Amino acid sequence: MNTKKYLQKWLDNYKSEDPSFLDEILDESAVFYSPVVFKPIEGKDLVKLYLMSAGQSFNMNRFKYTKEIIQDLYCVLEFETFIDEVSINGVDIISWNNEGKIVEFKVMIRPIQAIEKVKEKMVESLEFFSNQGS
């Protein structure tokens, strides 16, 4: 499996100001599971929008992955960051296909204050990106 190589593309680019790398690594049928939206977000374009929004919502200057688990075509990356002064702890669970494309991206966050803060910032960010297309 080339999962480590696939993951490296994510790790090399996720803090980038240029989200175009997502076009390369997201499968057309990608699904995103948000910690604040019950319904799965389906399709490459929407998943890209949510990942870009998360990047804008999280304090990427303080965001860091602290643990990494890779098995077969799956990765679990534990992360820590702060939004305002709220401590955020969570995991990104990423599933890849054999072509190195992300087919599923699931984010889980704790504690409850962190979920509330992420929801607040994601709403602001999604509104920002929605207005960019208008």
Residue segments in the chain with a per-residue pLDDT below the cut of 50? 134
Please check whether residue 54 lies inside any domain of the structure.
yes
**89: CATH:** 3.10.450.50
What's the pLDDT at 124?
78
Structural domains counted in the chain:
1
What's the pLDDT at 118?
86
| 118-129 per-position pLDDT tens digit | 888 877 777 766
Q: What is the span of the domain harbouring residue 36?
A: 3-127
Exposed / middle / buried, residue 78 (Cβ in 10 Å: 0-12, 13-18, 19+):
middle
What's the pLDDT at 61?
87
What's the pLDDT at 130?
66
Please check whether residue 84 lies inside any domain of the structure.
yes
What's the pLDDT at 74?
97
Residue closest to 32 by CA, chosen among 99, 115, 102: 102
Q: pTM of the predicted model, to two decimals?
A: 0.89
